[in-house]
Chains A and B, each alone.
Chain A
Amino acid sequence: MTATMIEVQNVSRAFDMLRAVDDVSLSVGEGEIVGIIGTNGSGKTTLLNLITGYLQPTSGRIVFQGTDITGLGPRRITALGMARSFQTPQLYTGLTVLDNVLIAIAAHSGRGADFWMPMYRRDCLSEADELLARFGLRDQATATVSNLPEGGRKVLDVALSVVLEPKILLMDEPTSGVSARDKFSVMDTLMPALKERRVTTIFVEHDLEIMERYAERGVAFDGGKIIADGPVTDVLARLQVRRAVLGED
């Protein structure tokens, strides 16, 4: 049995009268690849925001590798080894792809406040080059991020998180906004790179094909609650999930 990476214990989050996440408990083990599925407004992204400190829970606890991280902000949670990507990639759009990666490398190595040594150093460039090659972005290294296609931005958003050598990565809809033709190539770039680094992965998705192909465990959300949790094929086959997510009769 694998060690527990993250444990969400009876977590709720209300926005005025709406309970976006309602008494949710979830445990994810080391090395697991978990896909969270659900309709818009079902509470998937809110759960990710709660785990990563973007939002604070109204009640409940979140424990990361034995440490209670409830109430901690993003920076402190990131320092513990948790990283995330966003539905809308959060990048430095006026800078180049390489600048983005080098900033992440400098921040991770604790050199973010260094105002004397250059950021473009040979060791950092070599690390950045290796990362960009692994994520298929080497050819776009000098491109300004605002000129990248959406798929490229999604991949870069995840690559910046991987720079941090996280123990766990949470991805919010890694293929949203990406064309149907490109969605598999984006995931085929991301998932092997994460597996290679043995990063525990939780990703939120709308797309059943992506879920079936890349998740090992599925968690289905509806109305802020988990309605199914188990092997992904079993979860997607359940009638309750198909009704809630696909609207099937």
Chain B
Amino acid sequence: MSETAIRPSLPLAAIAAFAVIAVLPLFLSDWIVFLIALALAKGAVVLGVVLLLRGGLISFGHALYFAIGAYTVGFLANRFGIGEALVALPLAIIISALVAATLGLLLTRFRGIYFAMLSLALSMILYTVLIKFYDLTGGTDGLSVRGFALAGVTPTHPALVQYYLVLVLTVAVVYVGARFLASPLGYLMQAVRYNEIRIEYLGASASRAILASYVVSGAISGLGGALVAYLIGHVSPELAFWVSSGDFVFVAVLGGTGSVLAPFVGSIAFEFVKNYALKFSPHTWKLTLGVFLLLVIYFQPQGLWTLLTRLRAKPR
């Protein structure tokens, strides 16, 4: 079945999912609400990875944009005393997009393992810069993010305001992602995976399609990083480390690539499994995560998202 066939049911599923998430703070403890917000923010980065995966390109370096977004918030708050989200978030998106546009010129020349390794190398360069330029970046200590404000107001319950900020922006990201996947560029990215020769003989450019997608992907990932910086209240070089990039790819596989909602489903599942694994088996939590992924790959090779679509499609 073509990946496009699931498109019509998306809006209803998305509205229902976000309506449920919106009322969760009324019923759940603070740490679970925090975990959901964190998962949604990271889900934006996973969506960025998925946009490229649909073109057959695996980015093992998306922590680069995750960290750029986070450090934009960190620098503004820590060095300039600007905690205003309406300033920091757009700036994080713009800077991430500009970096993606620049690095994309180089990356679009590569495919397969070369694309994956080069993207990884670029993120590790940022990681090293963040560690070595101590005076500017705080080195391994990182930067604390203080003074969160939204539209000039410093909230009395920042965690709750941040939760709804993340939720609203996740809706916006899902909307942009859905438009992207349904657009000619979204389909052209799928075409890249199947046949670049035909793209050129249709008079289109595979490289330009990848570059445009890479910029969109980088911008969305930068936003995800910026939101995580507000949620955690601290940024550190670990955000740019290769393990962080690996996690995003891991979650992309976990959630699947068949829907714009899949990265968020995968991200929520990942955060919960990881945290409960840490709680109940602190010495073997990585093993638990690995087994979880293996089970998903074995029983739901198209990702957790297909589990939801299959349950919905079951005859009553």
**B-binding residues in A (CB < 8 A):** 52, 73-75, 78-79, 83-84, 86, 90-96, 99, 102-104, 106-108, 111-120, 142, 144, 160-161, 163-164
Residues of B within 8 A of A119 (CB): 182-184, 186-187
Q: Give A103 to B186 CA distance when docked, in angstroms.
A: 10
Nearest to B200 among chain A residues (CB) is A74
Q: Give A120 to B185 CA distance when docked, in angstroms.
A: 12
User: Are A75's CB and B2's CB within 8 A?
Assistant: no
Q: Name the distance in Å between A121's Cβ and chain B's nearest Cβ.
A: 10
Residues of B within 8 A of A78 (CB): 200-203
User: Are A74's CB and B201's CB within 8 A?
Assistant: yes
User: Are A115's CB and B194's CB within 8 A?
Assistant: no
Pick from B193, B202, B216: contact of A103, CB under 8 Å: B202
Residues of A within 8 A of B183 (CB): 114-119
Instruction: Flag whether B111 is at the interface (Cβ < 8 A).
Output: no
User: Are A107's CB and B188's CB within 8 A?
Assistant: yes
Residues of A within 8 A of B190 (CB): 92, 94-95, 99
Nearest to B51 among chain A residues (CB) is A115
**Provided the pairs A112-B185, A114-B183, A116-B179 are in contact, do residues A99 and B201 lie with their beta carbons within 8 angstroms?**
no
Q: Give A142 to B199 CA distance when docked, in angstroms.
A: 21
Q: Give A84 to B195 CA distance when docked, in angstroms.
A: 15
- Chain B interface size, as a band, is 20 to 34
Chain B interface secondary structure, helix, strand, loop or mixed?
helix
Q: Give A104 to B188 CA distance when docked, in angstroms.
A: 9
Contact string, B183-220, partner A, CB cutoff 8 A, digits 1/0?
11111101101110111111111001100110010000
Q: Give A119 to B3 CA distance when docked, in angstroms.
A: 14
Q: Give A163 to B187 CA distance when docked, in angstroms.
A: 17
Q: Give A119 to B191 CA distance when docked, in angstroms.
A: 13
Q: Give A86 to B200 CA distance when docked, in angstroms.
A: 13
**Provided the pairs A75-B205, A91-B195 are in contact, do residues A96 and B4 lie with their beta carbons within 8 angstroms?**
yes
Q: Give A199 to B162 CA distance when docked, in angstroms.
A: 61
Q: Give A108 to B191 CA distance when docked, in angstroms.
A: 15
Q: Which 3 A-B pairs have the closest CB atoms?
A: A106-B184, A107-B204, A112-B204
Q: Give A92 to B310 CA distance when docked, in angstroms.
A: 26
**A-binding residues in B (CB < 8 A):** 1-4, 179-180, 182-188, 190-191, 193-195, 197-205, 208-209, 212-213, 216
Residues of B within 8 A of A115 (CB): 179-180, 183-186, 212-213, 216
Known: A74-B197, A106-B184, A160-B198. 18 other contacts (CB 8 A): A74-B200, A75-B203, A93-B194, A94-B3, A95-B2, A95-B4, A95-B191, A96-B2, A99-B187, A107-B202, A112-B202, A112-B208, A114-B183, A115-B186, A117-B184, A144-B1, A161-B201, A164-B203
Q: Give A142 to B7 CA distance when docked, in angstroms.
A: 14
Q: Give A91 to B205 CA distance when docked, in angstroms.
A: 15
Q: Name the distance in Å between B94's Cβ and chain A's nearest Cβ.
A: 17
Residues of B within 8 A of A116 (CB): 179, 183
User: Are A107's CB and B199's CB within 8 A?
Assistant: yes
Nearest to A75 among chain B residues (CB) is B200
Residues of B within 8 A of A73 (CB): 200
Nearest to B186 among chain A residues (CB) is A115
Pick from A79, A84, A94, A107: contact of B194, CB under 8 Å: A94
Residues of B within 8 A of A93 (CB): 194-195
Residues of A within 8 A of B213 (CB): 115
Nearest to A95 among chain B residues (CB) is B2
Between A and B, 30 residue pairs with Cβ closer than 8 Å are: A75-B205, A78-B200, A78-B201, A78-B203, A91-B198, A92-B191, A93-B195, A103-B184, A104-B202, A106-B184, A106-B187, A106-B188, A107-B202, A107-B204, A112-B184, A112-B185, A112-B202, A112-B204, A112-B205, A112-B209, A113-B209, A115-B185, A115-B212, A118-B179, A119-B184, A119-B186, A144-B2, A163-B202, A164-B202, A164-B203
